[in-house]
Chains A and B, each alone.
Chain A
Amino acid sequence: MSRRSLRPRRSAHRSPSRRSRATALVCAVAGFVVTTAVLGRLLPPPDLGDVSDKLEWFETHRDEYDVLFFGSSRIHQGVVASLFDRELQRLGRPVRSFNFGVAGMGSHETSALVRRVLRMEPRRLRWVVVELDRWSAAPRPENRFKRRIIAWHDPAETAAALRTVLLTQERPLDRLELTWSHLLHLGARSTGAGRARDWLVALRRPESSRRPPPDYTDGQGFEPFSESAYGTPSTHPFRRRFLRMIPAYQIAVARLPVANRAEASLATYNVQAVEDQVAMIRRAGAEPVYLITPTARPTPELYRLAAAGKVPRMLAFNDSERYPELFAVENRFDAEHLTTAGAERFTGLLAERLACIMEDGAEGQHPASPLRIAERN
């Protein structure tokens, strides 16, 4: 653009009427929306790693499963779905299950994934087991604007995330920043921002170099956090840190039953999000079961949630009194995760508890659970 062209010219003196300005604005918005919609249809789905792999698999096998597990790496690497099926078979309740756990998945992303899966209308689905955790409003800084984070920001889940932001006890400025961040993610998802890369990658990558489609026939979505993984660069630091912190871990485990009985308020918990999730699962014709995985982190607010009747069935495994074997150092990969042996033990216990629920629809709370103890007190 030449220097002269930026100076006002006589032709620019025409002052457009208010109507023509409004028409131009409408045309600009329409041009943007229509183009976004058309491009959205043309673009391949974003590659979300394990999330995409599992969804792709499930899409073609959706009518084969009765039980689905959702949650973080604690589910992905903690629930051996094939073993779970065998255990239930032994208990006289033949089912087929699939592990939808994915590393790093928080409650909001889990909820969005559950929604996507239920939208596929799996015909045999009866039980949806969801890992219960805090609803964190803030993605980790390193995860901001990662494809997966953007992908879960559908309007429903963004609304839930904004509610979580409202409930947090952050400073007003931080809340504002979080709100802005969620809205940006929603905007990025809605407009397909940055998606050209997927397109270019798909166009340029020869058929032969494409990743083979995942096969979850054996693992059924489970991936072991095995001894062989100790040496890999990504897991090694966690494991090493855990080995250094074993005494502290053991103290935390010893305190866990008491800590879980501590007073807790639901004022900052996104109860509405849980209730919405329960309703969503039930609308799809399945029954929700909530699960607290065996970690050394006390979660008194989750027990309070169950006591308040906000979750219909809760299986709490972060109880070192009742499940000491799940907290034994030899069964732990680190403070959050189990080894393969630990995962198998956990899956066995989970199968027993879930079989009880399937049998009589019990609430799944063991008489000795911290919740019951808290209620008795």
Chain B
Amino acid sequence: MLFTEPLFFLFFPVVLAGAWWLSSDRLRKLWLLAASYLFYAAWDWRFLSLIAASTLVDYWVGRALERVEASRGRRALLVTSLALNLGLLGVFKYYGFFVESARGLLAVLGLSVATRVPEIVLPVGISFYTFQTLSYTIDLYRGRLEPVRSLPDFALFVSFFPQLVAGPIVRASDFLPQLDRRPRWADVAVRRHLALFLIGFVKKACLADNVAPVVDRVFADPSLWTSSAVWTAVLLYAVQIYCDFSGYTDMAIACAGLLGFRLERNFDFPYVARSVTEFWRRWHISLSGWLRDYLYIPLGGSRGVRLATYRNLMVTMLLGGLWHGAAWTFVIWGALHGVALVAHKEWTRRRSAIIGSWTSPAAVGGALSWCLTLFWVCLAWIFFRARSFADAWLLVRAFALFRGAGELSVDPAWLAFVAALGALHWVSSRRRAEGAVEEMPDWAFAGAYGAAAAVALLFVPLRSDPFIYFQF
């Protein structure tokens, strides 16, 4: 079930009504848990067992960590949780990748292995809920969190449907305390969440899904297209992935908010970033935070010597790339971001030594940084989206060296569309309009909302694509 699917518009009001109507807090949480499992089962009920297994094991580990004080025992419990969660991820997401990679490596060494790689279906959202449960056990192990007493509460934390399949990645320390107090409907910012849902809907259904066919055509066979067509397609893909993913999280935050839960925002106008470091503070914030706290800092973070910091950054970004997908193209995507982060750190450190006392006007410097950042981010998107290295190379040649391999072109009106969206993105990042929503009379907000929904429907393509981040 997608947030943009008509079925969700039947499902959610029922869940919402039930959640606020049930007088017992315990029943309310059980209701939400049942709804979350139903939501997931609508995709494939068989994989509920994976969520259930992950939930039970981490709940048990949490309770055991409370009792066990010996560091060896605690470590064994942590390893159990890591083994299960990463094991599930390894089997369902990376098994084929590792086998294929090993086979490729052996072939390079002149050894051929005839292994049939079984086709394993990737359970939707496994990367997201695995990271959530991992954060819980790691925080418990570190003594930063109290274990959850109630199994249903913990199960709801793992499976809470608004963010179950594509994030934002919720920390136990943020979510679990919200289960301890019953929210009041009067405290819910209904209008803002309704508005946020509509904004997310428009981003996903009206923008991302409409540009997807153009992007798909170019990426399907890059050898057919001119350099300008590739530029258009890459920029459109940047639009598509942002609108798709941030649209999803907008809707997730809005749904959770209407149910009385607060989820942290996951995007903060990433394409206005003036460095890749800033980009990662604005893009998929919950993932960057997770990688920082559970990977980069444990690796040593920036505490060691400079080279160790750069190594930690690269390892974090390479694994971050691999988290997105089981393919080497994702690893390269992560590597490109890692290189940019290292370069930015190095530039920041040596800037005065390189350019001396020369200073450019702030606007010029800012514009240059922005252009360079956007160019690099888009270049990296090529590897994120391309089906193979061969395709990626053709696209990079056309994008970075202006050497398109083919003759076909894309309607230049799409570039105007990208420019208009870019301007809107920039303006929105500077002038936020929630105040207007709050100050409208109820009837005017409702009427405008109905009218806006009617207009949005006009732009919904009749066949919608699943959310891009569902596959991760």
Chains A and B bind each other: yes
A197 vs B453: C-alpha distance when bound (angstroms): 17
Looking at chain A's contact residues, the main secondary structure is helix
* Cβ contact of A39, chosen from B6, B199, B257, B455, cutoff 8 A: B455
CB distance from A43 to the nearest CB of B (A): 8
Q: Does B451 contact A (CB under 8 A)?
A: yes
Q: Does A213 contact B (CB under 8 A)?
A: no
Interface 1/0s, chain A 187-230, versus B by CB < 8 A?
A: 11001111111010000100000000000000000000000000
Q: Which of B39-47, B79-87, B222-230, B440-448 contacts the other chain?
A: B440-448
Q: In the complex where A187-B6, A192-B458, A194-B460 touch, is A6 in contact with B446 (Cβ < 8 A)?
A: no
Residue of B whose beta carbon sits closest to that of A20: B442
**Does the CB pair A196–B459 fall under 8 Å?**
yes
With a CB–CB cut-off of 8 A, which chain B residues contact A29?
Answer: 450
Q: Does A377 contact B (CB under 8 A)?
A: no
A188 vs B443: C-alpha distance when bound (angstroms): 26
* Cβ contact of A23, chosen from B188, B257, B442, B453, cutoff 8 A: B442
**Does the CB pair B458–A31 fall under 8 Å?**
no
A187 vs B448: C-alpha distance when bound (angstroms): 20
Q: In the complex where A6-B262, A8-B188, A12-B186 touch, is A193 in contact with B462 (Cβ < 8 A)?
A: yes
Q: Which of B430-468 contact A (CB under 8 A)?
A: 432, 434, 438, 442-451, 453-455, 457-463
With a CB–CB cut-off of 8 A, which chain B residues contact A33?
Answer: 450, 454
* Cβ contact of B189, chosen from A6, A36, A146, A199, cutoff 8 A: A6
**Does the CB pair B432–A27 fall under 8 Å?**
no
B interface residues, tally (CB under 8 Å): 42
Residue of B whose beta carbon sits closest to that of A193: B457
Scoring A11, A145, A191, A194 by chain B CB atoms within 10 A of each residue's CB, the highest score goes to: A194
With a CB–CB cut-off of 8 A, which chain B residues contact A25?
Answer: 446
Q: Does B397 contact A (CB under 8 A)?
A: no
A193 vs B192: C-alpha distance when bound (angstroms): 25
**Does the CB pair A11–B438 fall under 8 Å?**
yes
**Does the CB pair A27–B446 fall under 8 Å?**
yes
Q: Does A169 contact B (CB under 8 A)?
A: no
With a CB–CB cut-off of 8 A, which chain B residues contact A195?
Answer: 458
CB distance from B177 to the nearest CB of A (A): 14
Residue of A whose beta carbon sits closest to that of B443: A27
A interface residues, tally (CB under 8 Å): 48
**Does the CB pair A24–B462 fall under 8 Å?**
no
A114 vs B286: C-alpha distance when bound (angstroms): 56
Interface 1/0s, chain B 245-265, versus A by CB < 8 A?
A: 000000001000100001011
With a CB–CB cut-off of 8 A, which chain B residues contact A2?
Answer: 265, 432, 434
Residue of A whose beta carbon sits closest to that of B453: A32
A190 vs B65: C-alpha distance when bound (angstroms): 58
Q: Does A373 contact B (CB under 8 A)?
A: no
With a CB–CB cut-off of 8 A, which chain A residues contact B7?
Answer: 180
* Cβ contact of B253, chosen from A6, A8, A184, cutoff 8 A: A6
**Does the CB pair B443–A36 fall under 8 Å?**
no
Q: Does A9 contact B (CB under 8 A)?
A: yes
Q: Does B426 contact A (CB under 8 A)?
A: no
Q: In the complex where A15-B186, A184-B6 touch, is A39 in contact with B443 (Cβ < 8 A)?
A: no
Q: Does A34 contact B (CB under 8 A)?
A: yes
Q: Which of A9-28 contact B (CB under 8 A)?
A: 9, 11-16, 20, 23-28
**Does the CB pair B262–A7 fall under 8 Å?**
yes
* Cβ contact of A30, chosen from B447, B458, B459, cutoff 8 A: B447
CB distance from B215 to the nearest CB of A (A): 17
With a CB–CB cut-off of 8 A, which chain B residues contact A32?
Answer: 450-451, 453-454
With a CB–CB cut-off of 8 A, which chain A residues contact B253?
Answer: 6
Q: Does B69 contact A (CB under 8 A)?
A: no
Q: Which of A95-130 contact B (CB under 8 A)?
A: none
Residue of A whose beta carbon sits closest to that of B450: A31
Q: Does B187 contact A (CB under 8 A)?
A: yes
A374 vs B444: C-alpha distance when bound (angstroms): 68
Q: Does B196 contact A (CB under 8 A)?
A: yes
Q: Which of A140-190 contact B (CB under 8 A)?
A: 145-147, 150, 180, 184, 187-188
* Cβ contact of B450, chosen from A12, A15, A28, cutoff 8 A: A28
Q: Does A272 contact B (CB under 8 A)?
A: no
**Does the CB pair B265–A3 fall under 8 Å?**
yes
A30 vs B449: C-alpha distance when bound (angstroms): 10
Q: Does A248 contact B (CB under 8 A)?
A: no
A12 vs B190: C-alpha distance when bound (angstroms): 8
Q: Does B185 contact A (CB under 8 A)?
A: yes
Residue of A whose beta carbon sits closest to that of B254: A6
A89 vs B190: C-alpha distance when bound (angstroms): 72
Q: Does A251 contact B (CB under 8 A)?
A: no
CB distance from A278 to the nearest CB of B (A): 33
A13 vs B188: C-alpha distance when bound (angstroms): 8
CB distance from A111 to the nearest CB of B (A): 22
**Does the CB pair A35–B450 fall under 8 Å?**
yes
Interface 1/0s, chain B 304-334, versus A by CB < 8 A?
A: 0000000000000000000000000000000
With a CB–CB cut-off of 8 A, which chain A residues contact B188?
Answer: 8, 12
Given A12-B190, A27-B443, A194-B462; 5 other pairs, CB 8 A cutoff: A6-B253, A12-B188, A13-B187, A25-B446, A187-B6
Q: 6 tightest CB-CB pairs across the interface, nearest first? A: A31-B450, A32-B450, A35-B454, A31-B447, A24-B446, A27-B446
Q: Which residues of B contact A (CB under 8 A)?
A: 6-7, 185-190, 192-193, 195-196, 199, 253, 257, 262, 264-265, 413, 432, 434, 438, 442-451, 453-455, 457-463
17 contacts between A and B (CB under 8 A): A2-B265, A8-B188, A8-B189, A11-B438, A12-B186, A20-B442, A24-B446, A27-B442, A27-B443, A28-B447, A31-B446, A31-B450, A191-B457, A193-B462, A194-B459, A194-B461, A196-B458
